[in-house]
Chains A and B, each alone.
Chain A
Amino acid sequence: MATLPSVINAASNPLALAADWPGNFWLHLLVFTLVIIGFVFTTVVIFIWFERRLVGRFQIRLGPNRAGPFGLLQPVADVLKLLTKEGNTPKNGDKLLFWLAPMVAFTPVLLVFAVIPFWEGATLVDLDIGVVYIIAISSLSSIGIFMAGWASNNKYSLIGAMRDVGQLVSYEIPLVLSIAGVVLFSGSLSVGGVVAAQDIPFILLQPLAFAIYFMAGLAEINRCPFDMVEADSELISGYNIEFSGMKFAMLMLTEYSEAILLSVLVTTFFLGGWRGPWLPPVVWFIIKVVGVFFLIDWVRFTLMRLRIDQVMAFAWKFLLPLALINLVITGIEVVLLPDISPWLLMVINLAVMVFLILTWARMFKPGGKKVEA
C-alpha cells in the first residue's frame, strides 16, 4: 500500500538509529538487553501502582496512598515484603518443576521484547520474521504456567493450569489470523516493517482485526473477563496458589509483563508504534502503551468473568469466524483494490466490522442458551 498518504509523520525520522547504534554489534546487544530489562521491570512496577490507583478511582475509593507521595512507593513495599517471605515448596509437589516454573513463565515474555522497536532503529534485533517470532515465543509462557499448576500438587492449581492450556490453544488461532490481516496490509513480517507501513494506524484500516486481537490477547494473558486461570472467586488464585516469596513475585511479574506485552503489541501492530507528530517517538510509544493498558484495566474492573465453556465457545464460534472473514476481506482488498483511497478503505472496513459484529452477536448469544461442553 505504497499509495497511503502520510498522516502521522514521515517514516524517515531524524531520531532514527542505525542498526548497530552505538557502533558495535556486541555493544548494541548489551545496551538494548539492558534497555529491555530495565523497561520491563520499571514499567511493571509503575503499572502495578497505576493499576491500583486506577482501580481505586473505579471503585470510588482512594487506592494506596500511604507509602510515599501518592503511594508511589507501594510497589517497592510490596516487593520488599515478598523478598522477605519464606519460599515454601509443597511437600508432595514436583520440586524441580516448582522451582523452574516461574522462570519458564517469565523468560519468553522478556524474549518477545527483543523485536519491539521503541523508536525507529531502537530495537535489539529487527528480525525479518519478527511477527512469526512474536507469535511463537509469546505462547511459550503458558508452559511455565502449566508447570506451576502441575508441580504444586494442588487440585485448584491443576484446574487453573488445564484451563490455561485449553484457552491458549483456542485463542491462539484467532490471534494469529487477526495479525495475518495486518501483515497482509503492511507486506512485511518484520515488526519494524509493520510500523513503517503504518502511515495510517492499522486500527483505522483493520478495526475488526484490532478488536479480535485485543480480545484474544486478553484471553492469552488471562486477564478479565477471561481470567479463568486465576478466577479469584472459584479457584482462589489458580495456578499460583501454592507459591510464595520471590517465586510468587516472579509469577506476578510474568502476569504484569504479559499485560504490558499485550499493550506494546497492540501499540506496535495497530496504533502505529512509536510514530506520532511533534513529540519524541519514545514518548508516543509510552503514551500509547499506557492508553492500551488503561483499556485492559477498564475491562478488568468492569466486567464479570465468563464461564470456561463460554470462553471456549467465544473463541471458536465468535472470534474465529470473524477472524477468517476479516482475513479474506483483507486479502481481496490488497489483491484486487491496491489503488483504492485509504479513506474509502477505512469506511468500508469500519462498516464491515459493525455489520459482522452485530450479525454475529445476534446469532451467538452467550446468555441465550446453555452451551454444551
Chain B
Amino acid sequence: MTLKTEPFVINLGPMHPSTHGVFRMRLTLDGEVVVDVEPVFGYLHRGLEKLAESRTYKQNFPYTDRLDYVSSMSNGMAYAMAVEKLAGIRVPERAEYIRVIMAELQRIASHLLAVGSFTNDLGTFFTPFMYMFREREKIVDLFEMVSGQRLLYNYMRFGGVSQDLPDEFLPALEKLVRTMPGYIDEYDQLLAENEVLLARSKGVGVLPRDMAINYSASGPVLRASGVEWDVRKADPYSIYDRFEFKIPTAQNGDCYDRYRVRIAEMRQSLRIIEQAMQQMPAGEIINKVPLRLRPPAGEAYARIESTKGELGFYLVSDGSDKPYRFHVRAPSLINLTALRQMVIGCKLADVIAVFGSIDICMGEVDR
C-alpha cells in the first residue's frame, strides 16, 4: 500500500535564527526532502546604491561599512581604492601596509564568525562559536585601538587611513599573530575530525567546479570547489604582490571543504600579517586630498578579495562631487545565487548547513 502524500511549502525566514539576518526561503518539502527552494531577497533593502548618488564621495564612506557589517575594513578599503582609481590619488607606502594588515585581520575575524556560526547551524549549542568569539574579540580590540569603533570602523580614507597606529597596537598585534596558530590548532582538534561534523557536512551541498564558475561564485565558496582563484593573486591590488602566501583550495565543494578552506585561509592571513609587520616602513599615512573631492568625469572599478569573495565597487563620475553611479559587486549576493543548485534534494537540516557554509551577510545581499 502506498500512502498518498503531497509536498508542502514552508517559509524559512525572514525571522529565523539561522538565516543570518532577514533572508527568506520558500521551501517546498516532500516530508523532510527539499523539492524546491525559492529565495526571497529584499527584507534589508535600504536603497544604498541610490542613496549614494545624492551624497558626496566622502559622505558615502560610512555607508560602505554597513554593507557587510562583519567586514567593514575590507569594504572601506575597496571603496577607497575605487575612488583613488577614479581621481588618481596615490597612497603612501605605510598606509598600504596598514590597509593590508587591517584587511587580513578582518578576514580572520570574519572567518571565525563564519565557522562559528556554521557549527551553530549544525546544532552545537554555541560552544565552538564562543571559542571563536574569544579570538575575534582580540581582533576587535585591535580595531578599537586604531579606529575607536568595534563594528563599523570607518577607518580608511581616500589616499590613506584616518589615523596612524597607536603605540600599543604593534605589540598587541605581534602577540595575536604569535598565539593565533595555537588557537586555530585548538579548533582543528575540537572540530576537524568530529564524526558528527563529518556526517553532517561531507557530501552535503556540493557545488561542482564548473557550476561554481558558471554561477561566478568567488571567495571560499569557489576555492572549495577546486578553483584556485583569488583576487589577491589573480589581479594583485595594493601591495599584495610583495607577500608570500598560498591560496588554499579543496576538491569536493561541499560544506566540509568550505569550512576547511576558511580555516586554512586564516593561517595564510596570519602569514601575510607577519610579513607586513616586518616590512612596514615609517612615514606618512595619508596623502593630501581636497576636502570636496571632484574626480574627473569617467568610470572606475576596483575589486578586492573581501572576506566572502570578490568585492567590487563600480563608480561613474560626471565631474561633480557626487558619484553619478555607485554600484557594489557584492560577493554574498552572487554566492547566494548558487544556493538552489546546492540544496535541492537535501534534507531540511542540510538547507541550514549549506546556507551557513556559504557565509553570507544580509547587509551586503540586499544593500
Interface residues of A (CB under 8 A from B): 55, 58-61, 155-156, 159, 224-225, 227, 231-234, 236, 300-310, 365-367, 370, 373
Check if B199 sits within 8 Å of A367, measured CB to CB. Answer: yes
Check if B18 sits within 8 Å of A233, measured CB to CB. Answer: yes
Query: Could you tell me the distance between the alpha carbons of A225 and B194 in the complex, rounded to whole angstroms?
Result: 13
**Inter-chain contacts of A159 with B (CB < 8 A):** 10, 32, 348
Given the interface pairs A59-B126, A60-B130, A234-B349, the reply to whether A306 lies near B18 with Cβ below 8 Å is no
CB distance from B152 to the nearest CB of A (A): 25
Check if A236 sits within 8 Å of B17, measured CB to CB. Answer: yes
**Inter-chain contacts of B148 with A (CB < 8 A):** none
Check if A232 sits within 8 Å of B123, measured CB to CB. Answer: yes
Query: Could you tell me the distance between the alpha carbons of A302 and B198 in the complex, rounded to whole angstroms?
Result: 15
Q: Which candidate, B114-122, B167-175, B260-268, B291-299, is the interface stretch facing chain A?
A: B114-122
Check if A233 sits within 8 Å of B130, measured CB to CB. Answer: no
Q: Which of A231, A234, A301, A306 contacts B127 (CB 8 A)?
A: A301
Q: Residue among A225, A305, A310 with the most chain B CB within 10 A?
A: A305
Q: Which of B10, B18, B126, B349 contacts A308 (CB 8 A)?
A: B349
Chain B residue at minimal CB-CB distance from A158: B8
CB distance from B192 to the nearest CB of A (A): 12
The 6 closest A-B pairs by CB, nearest first: A305-B123, A367-B198, A367-B199, A366-B199, A59-B130, A304-B122
Query: Could you tell me the distance between the alpha carbons of A60 and B126 in the complex, rounded to whole angstroms?
Result: 11
Check if A60 sits within 8 Å of B122, measured CB to CB. Answer: no
- In the complex, besides A59-B127, A367-B198, 17 extra interface pairs with C-beta distance below 8 angstroms are A59-B130, A155-B10, A224-B125, A232-B123, A233-B18, A233-B122, A233-B352, A236-B16, A300-B125, A304-B122, A305-B122, A306-B196, A307-B199, A307-B200, A307-B347, A365-B199, A373-B32
**Inter-chain contacts of A236 with B (CB < 8 A):** 16-17
Given the interface pairs A232-B17, A234-B18, the reply to whether A308 lies near B122 with Cβ below 8 Å is no
Q: Does B329 sit within 8 A of A, measured CB to CB?
A: no
Check if A304 sits within 8 Å of B194, measured CB to CB. Answer: yes
Q: Does B350 sit within 8 A of A, measured CB to CB?
A: yes
Given the interface pairs A233-B18, A234-B349, A373-B33, the reply to whether A303 lies near B124 with Cβ below 8 Å is yes
Main secondary structure of the interface of B (DSSP, over half): helix
Q: Which of A155, A234, A300 contacts B8 (CB 8 A)?
A: A155
Query: Could you tell me the distance between the alpha carbons of A236 and B349 in the complex, rounded to whole angstroms?
Result: 11
Query: Could you tell me the distance between the alpha carbons of A227 and B122 in the complex, rounded to whole angstroms?
Result: 12
**Inter-chain contacts of B33 with A (CB < 8 A):** 373
Given the interface pairs A307-B200, A309-B347, the reply to whether A231 lies near B131 with Cβ below 8 Å is no
> Can you give 28 A-B contacts (C-beta < 8 A)?
A55-B125, A59-B130, A60-B130, A159-B10, A225-B123, A233-B121, A233-B123, A234-B123, A234-B349, A236-B17, A300-B125, A301-B124, A302-B124, A302-B127, A303-B194, A304-B124, A304-B194, A304-B200, A305-B196, A305-B200, A306-B200, A307-B199, A366-B195, A367-B199, A367-B200, A373-B31, A373-B32, A373-B33
Query: Could you tell me the distance between the alpha carbons of A81 and B41 in the complex, rounded to whole angstroms?
Result: 36
Given the interface pairs A59-B130, A233-B17, A302-B127, the reply to whether A308 lies near B119 with Cβ below 8 Å is no
**Inter-chain contacts of A307 with B (CB < 8 A):** 199-200, 347, 349-350
**Inter-chain contacts of B130 with A (CB < 8 A):** 59-61
Q: Which of B120, B127, B199, B351 contacts A310 (CB 8 A)?
A: B199
- Number of cross-chain contacts by CB at 8 Å: 95
Query: Could you tell me the distance between the alpha carbons of A365 and B8 in the complex, rounded to whole angstroms?
Result: 31
- Among B186-238, those with CB < 8 Å from A are 194-200, 202-203
Interface residues of B (CB under 8 A from A): 8, 10, 16-18, 31-33, 119-127, 130-131, 134, 194-200, 202-203, 347-352
CB distance from B132 to the nearest CB of A (A): 11
**Inter-chain contacts of A300 with B (CB < 8 A):** 125
Query: Could you tell me the distance between the alpha carbons of A231 and B134 in the complex, rounded to whole angstroms?
Result: 25
**Inter-chain contacts of B16 with A (CB < 8 A):** 236
Chain B residue at minimal CB-CB distance from A366: B199
Chain A residue at minimal CB-CB distance from B30: A373
Chain A residue at minimal CB-CB distance from B123: A305
Query: Could you tell me the distance between the alpha carbons of A309 and B121 in the complex, rounded to whole angstroms?
Result: 17
**Inter-chain contacts of B32 with A (CB < 8 A):** 159, 308-309, 373
Query: Could you tell me the distance between the alpha carbons of A232 and B117 in the complex, rounded to whole angstroms?
Result: 13
Check if B195 sits within 8 Å of A308, measured CB to CB. Answer: no
Check if A370 sits within 8 Å of B347, measured CB to CB. Answer: no
Query: Could you tell me the distance between the alpha carbons of A234 and B347 in the complex, rounded to whole angstroms?
Result: 11
CB distance from A54 to the nearest CB of B (A): 11
Query: Could you tell me the distance between the alpha carbons of A159 and B125 in the complex, rounded to whole angstroms?
Result: 21
**Inter-chain contacts of B200 with A (CB < 8 A):** 304-307, 310, 367
**Inter-chain contacts of A232 with B (CB < 8 A):** 17, 123, 125
Given the interface pairs A304-B196, A307-B349, the reply to whether A224 lies near B127 with Cβ below 8 Å is no
Q: Which of A156, A231, A303, A367 contacts B349 (CB 8 A)?
A: A231
CB distance from B9 to the nearest CB of A (A): 8
Query: Could you tell me the distance between the alpha carbons of A232 and B32 in the complex, rounded to whole angstroms?
Result: 16
Chain B residue at minimal CB-CB distance from A371: B199
Query: Could you tell me the distance between the alpha carbons of A224 and B196 in the complex, rounded to whole angstroms?
Result: 11
Check if B17 sits within 8 Å of A367, measured CB to CB. Answer: no
Given the interface pairs A60-B134, A301-B125, the reply to whether A367 lies near B347 with Cβ below 8 Å is no
Query: Could you tell me the distance between the alpha carbons of A114 and B8 in the complex, rounded to whole angstroms?
Result: 43
CB distance from B13 to the nearest CB of A (A): 10
Query: Could you tell me the distance between the alpha carbons of A63 and B31 in the complex, rounded to whole angstroms?
Result: 38
Check if B199 sits within 8 Å of A234, measured CB to CB. Answer: no
